[in-house]
Amino acid sequence: MQKNMHCRVTPIPTDSTRNLCESVANFRVLPQNQTLSVSLYRYILTTMSSSASASSDSDEETLRRSRILKSKLYFDVPLSKVPVIYAASYDIAFLGIEKLHPFDSTKWGRICRFLVSDGALHRSCIVEPLEASKDDLLVVHSESYLNSLKSSANVAMIIEVPPVALFPNCLVQQKVLHPFRNQVGGTILAAKLAKERGWAINVGGGFHHCCGEKGGGFCAYADISLCIHYAFVQLNISRVMIIDLDAHQGNGHELDFANDRRVYILDMYNPGIYPFDYEARRYIDQKVEVASGTTTNEYLKKLDEALE
């Protein structure tokens, strides 16, 4: 090598480095008096990082779209059926342990039985959904989160029934998570039916405390977020409004759509009760806070004003 030359290792962005799957170091010999400025060096690294990030986001969105298009959760429903979705598998009966939680885990079946006995609905007209598969759930959930549900202790924390931690996970999957996955299928299908018929009701679902990375408050799967992503891809929908009227703040979908301007969130909730998620509250487009003891008339007045 010539005396006035020395070897300097310089990171140069190439077509290969812009590919997330392959990272290449490019070696170049520079004259001794020609050095790469620190600012330029940082600029190159930043550019490479931004390109990799954009490539990663694009790859993730492509995979999500592929999973949605391959899903079997959307299917044609005969016109003889009404757009009310329910299956007996929604109801959770777990050796009586489910009664340790204030949430009524058999209310879905009781609602349908009431509608049938009252003559408002014929049992044969109810639409039964398919159970969401792992690939369906991966549209929103991470692999690591779904794997965490293989621990009975984790599921027990999510549904807030501590004794569930003592049971084999195969039993927890069958008695708790299988009903939840059926309800997820119902929520996703409801969007398709609503687009076709003008309205639809999934008697179950609405697990608004669960986001892609975390469950809680008796919500193990983010069915609302999943439903919306399916609608974006399959139904050619570009804007969605969530009107959340549960007494509790819907922190799950708020975190999932924190930076997604396609989704507008109106949440009417009691700030003095669970989940106290102050970060998620930042992502509510229109919050309507109602305290305990609010009368029906006061509540409806506030709701009307918010909807206007």
Active-site annotation, residues: 209
The answer to whether 287 touches 305, Cβ cutoff 8 Å, is no
The answer to whether 132 touches 179, Cβ cutoff 8 Å, is no
The answer to whether 253 touches 225, Cβ cutoff 8 Å, is yes
Please give the biggest Cα pair distance in the chain: 97
Q: Which two tokens stand for residue 128?
A: 């039964």
Q: How far apart are CA 22 and CA 30, in angstroms?
A: 25
Q: How far apart are CA 300 and CA 302, in angstroms?
A: 5
In the DSSP assignment, the letter for residue 43 is H
In the DSSP assignment, the letter for residue 29 is E
Strand order across the beta sheet in which 286-289 lies: 240-244, 263-269, 286-289
Using DSSP's 3-state secondary structure scheme, residue 133 falls into coil
Which helix (H) or strand (E) segment is 70 a member of? Answer: helix 38-70
Q: Which two tokens stand for residue 49?
A: 């990082």
